[in-house]
Amino acid sequence: MFKANKAGNKISWGMSGKEADPAALFRLYINYGRHAEATNLLVEYLESFASSRPVDVLHRKKMSAVWFPYTAVERLWCQLGEMQRAGHSVDQCDRLKKLLHGALMSHLQQVVVDSDDVLSSVGDGQGMEDQSS
């Protein structure tokens, strides 16, 4: 739980390294039923991914270091659905599911555009076909 320097002295509280791990925070939010926080965190990162456009697709590669596991996203979606079916926070769950759905659809559309941009930048896909032959 404590970090130590080379001399073995305890220097700070914490369990992580110097870099933030939003995917771990996302999983913690889901594990502890913090659905609004989990949804907002995911949406924030998806929007920051999309806002780094369109000058160069390669600039977005930095964001790929922030990886949200599909299974965790699916688990959040299922938990929101279960809460709705149980009659708990129906309006909030509906709002969160719509927010999540919209962000995921926008992200998938952006991935398609980026993929098309990459293919066109290598000569209408010619380079990709040559590599696979």
In this model, does residue 1 exceed pLDDT 50?
no
pLDDT at 66: 59
The answer for residues whose C-beta is within 8 angstroms of residue 126's C-beta and 6 or more apart is: none
Whether 9 is covered by a domain: the verdict is: no
Beta bridge partners of 2: 13
Per-residue pLDDT, 117: 72
pLDDT tens for 8-29 read 555 444 555 666 788 899 999 9
Examine the pLDDT at 32 and tell me if it is beyond 60: yes
- pLDDT above 90 for 64: no
Convert the pLDDT of each residue in 103-130 to its tens digit. 999 888 887 887 777 677 776 545 445 5
Residue 69 belongs to some domain of the structure? yes
89 touches 31 (CB < 8 A): no
Bigger pLDDT: 5 or 26?
Answer: 26
Average pLDDT over residues 61-78: 79
Number of domains in the chain: 1
- What lies within 8 Å, CB to CB, of 98 at 6+ separation is none
Is 133 contained in some domain?
Answer: no
Domain range enclosing 93 = 20-118
15 is a domain residue:
no
Give the pLDDT confidence score for residue 17 in this predicted structure: 60
Do the beta carbons of residue 29 and residue 38 sit within 8 Å? yes
